[in-house]
Each structure stands twice: as structure tokens, then as C-alpha cells.
Structure 1
Amino acid sequence: MSYPDEQLLDRRPLLRNAADALPERVGAPLHAFLDHLDATPLIELTADYVTTFDHRKKFSPYLTYFAYGDTRKRGMALLRFKHAYRRAGLLIGDDELPDHLSVVLEFAATGDPEAGKRLMIEHRAGLELIRLGLREAKSPWAYVLESVSATLPPLVGRDEDAVARLAAVGPPEEEVGLAPFLPGGAR
């Protein structure tokens, strides 16, 4: 789920072997994505990645964005990610936000699988919203999210409601200090 580069393309045989070893529900979507990588020039992959993830908030790869938007509360959520990484002995640099899906997936795979899974479950509504949006847009990146989602417990009850609510309303917006600029004045 990170920006595609030559290293990703060079790792395709390794990724195929890994996908072969996974249960069908997890591995099959990865194979579909790898088929896309095989058939698409790198310049197109990078352009599609930027268009998909950098230009549309609907597909934001930052998991806390969906729960907190660009509000002050998001900072505390980001700290929770950093603390989870630190407890596992991993330090993340300041050049990447800790809630970027590629960082969370790498942490879950190589750092602390249970803590990584817990972080994804806590932000499941956003993860599912990305997955559903990518599927609807017929984006090849949807295959990767299908695989990730297949590793998590099924959505039920409140989780399904949270996804539907988030899809209808969107992430929260900061209104603190904006009262004089809101329609109708202060609230």
C-alpha cells in the first residue's frame, strides 16, 4: 500500500510465493493485484497511486483521518500508534505519519502482529470505507484492501453501523475557533 517503485516490482516473485502460502480468501486478491502489477508500466502505477490516494480524501491511506478528520483529536490518536510501535521496539521517523496504512501493515507483519491487528480493528470503519470506495471505483488497489479485510474479524452490528454512518456523514471537521465564520454566527 505504499508508493509503487522498482523495489515493489522486483519483489513480485517473493510476493507471489507469499500469496500462494495464504488461505484463498487472503491470497486470491493479492494475486489479482500482482497480475495488475505485471501488466502495468511503473509510470502508470505511480500516477494511479497519486491520483487515488493523494488527491482524494475518500481513499486517504491515513486510518485516523476517518475517525477524527483534520481535528485536534487526531493528534492523540497518532500518538497511540507511535506508542504501540515504541512498545514493540520500533521507532518511526517524523517523515511518515504512523497511521499510514502501509506503515500499520508493515508493523502488523514484522513488529507486533496482535497490536497491529488491534490498531486496524480500532479503525475498521475507515479501512472498510477505503475498501468499499476502491471497489466501487474499480481500482486495482481494492484487491489489497480485500486481502487485508479478509484477515480481520467479519463486520457485525456496531461495526457495520459505523461504516454506514461514516459513509453517510464523513470524517469530523474542526469547528473550534470558527464560530464567527459559520453560517448564522456563533453556535
Structure 2
Amino acid sequence: MAANPAYQWLSALLCYPQADLIAALPEFQAALDEWPALSAQRSELQALLDYLHSHDLIELQENYVATFDRNRSHALYLFEHVHGEDRDRGSAMVDLLQEYQRHGFTLGNDELPDYLPALLEFLAHIDTAHAQKLLGDAVHVIEHIRVKLAKNHSPYAAVLAAAVALSPVTPQPLIEPPVRDMDEAMETFGPDVSGIEPLLKPAIDTIQFYPKSDFQAACKGASA
């Protein structure tokens, strides 16, 4: 039983649509009707459930791929929006993976730790206070993706809006990361143990969902 089922609910809705998701739509509807935590986003989430209910599975899958896999501005990999191709992304991945491991949470072989549905699933099974802290760290990136989805009138924006609403932290504007040439980075720093990413920096104490310098700049801009 999930400690924080709302996170698990949102995680499932953000995953690639499969037949079992469609079969479970009545359960999602019941949860939306009953959970006060989601009441502020009720109309938008209802529109997403209606969308999933009214389209063929193949069409849903094609739209999902077009939305998230073929449009990098909508990518559900959080660190892509923070670090781009910079080598700090690999360090942040390691930090987050270690956070999962400390709580006995295991990712599938084909999953990356910064995949938003994976993070939400993790938050569903840990202490509520710690889940709120991690969500507060990530909320700036989640809101950044939500804005992009909303501009393209995607019904999935409702899921990210609900995640933002559950956070105790008000999101700040996200500064777009610089694009680093990965071949150049490999030549400069050498490969990591996997041979895929450039050599990682030593792990830091906090997970880099949001660079401190960028956060401070955004805060100054918001208060000016």
C-alpha cells in the first residue's frame, strides 16, 4: 500500500498508455472524485481521463510518443531540462539513484532515475515529509515542463499541474541549460565506467534538480 497514493496515481497517468491503464480508468475516476488533494485540478484531470477514455489505444500511444519522445521540450527526464548535455547531468543522476537505493527502491533495467513517472512512484512509497522535500526540489523543473505542455494544449499538462499543486514550494522560473557537445565532453573528461557519459563529478550532498546559481538568479528576478 502506497504511503502517498496521489503520487502513484499521477505516475501511472504519465506512463506510456497500455491496455491495463485504460481498463483502470474507472478506478482513476473514483479516486479523482474522492481525493481532496486533487480537487484544485479536478476539471483539468477530468479532461485527461475523458481524453484517455474517448480515444483508441493506438491513437493514444501515437500521441504520447509525439508529445514526449519527439519533442525534447516536453521530455519527462527532469535533468535534461536542468543540465542539457552538460556532464553535471550524470552526477545528478548518480545522486538521485543513490537516494532511491537508500530507500530500497529499484528501477527497471530500462529506466533512468530522473524519469518523472519513476520519481513520482518513488515519492508514493516513502515518508510523506521526505517526499514533500524531494518534490519541492523538483517542482521548478516540473512546472517548466507543464508550461511547455500547456502551450501546446496537451491534456497531460494537468498531471504536472497536480504534482506542482502538491508541492510545498512555489516553483521559480527555470533557466534553459547550455548545450554541450557530448563528443567534446568525452574527449575532455573521458568516459565514465559505462563508456557512455563523460566522466562524472564526485557526488554532492543535494540532488541537482535546480542549479543553485540559477535558483538564486531567478529569486532575485522575482523579487525585483
Indicate whether the TM-score tops 0.5: yes
Q: Is the 8 A contact 2:17 2:57 kept in 1?
A: yes
Tell me what 1:153 maps to. Answer: 168
Q: Is the 8 A contact 1:53 1:59 kept in 2?
A: yes
More deviation, 34-43/113-122: 113-122
Task: Give the RMSD, CA atoms, in angstroms.
Answer: 2.1
Give the Cα–Cα distance (whole angstroms) in 2 for the partners of residues 114 and 173 of structure 1: 35
Give the Cα–Cα distance (whole angstroms) in 1 for the partners of residues 128 and 74 of structure 2: 24
Give the counterpart of 2:23 among 1, 10, 13.
10
List per-residue Cα deviations over 1:40-93 (Å, max 9, x = no partner).
111111111100100111001001111111221111111122112112111113
More deviation, 106-115/87-96: 106-115
Tell me what 1:184 maps to. Answer: none
List alignment gaps of at least 5 residues for structure 1: 180-187
How much has 1:117 moved relative to structure 2?
Answer: 3.5
List alignment gaps of at least 5 residues for structure 2: 1-13, 186-224
Aligned residue pairs total: 170
Q: Is the 8 A contact 1:67 1:171 kept in 2?
A: yes
Give the Cα–Cα distance (whole angstroms) in 2 for the partners of residues 125 and 62 of structure 1: 13
Amino acid at match of 2:143: E
Give the Cα–Cα distance (whole angstroms) in 1 for the partners of residues 26 and 93 of structure 2: 34
Amino acid at match of 2:28: L
Change (3 A) 1:93 1:176: closer
Give the Cα–Cα distance (whole angstroms) in 2 for the partners of residues 117 and 95 of structure 1: 26
**TM-score, with length taken from structure 2:** 0.69
Residues 156-175 of structure 1 mapped to structure 2, 5 A cutoff: 159-160=171-172, 162-163=173-174, 166=175, 170-174=176-180
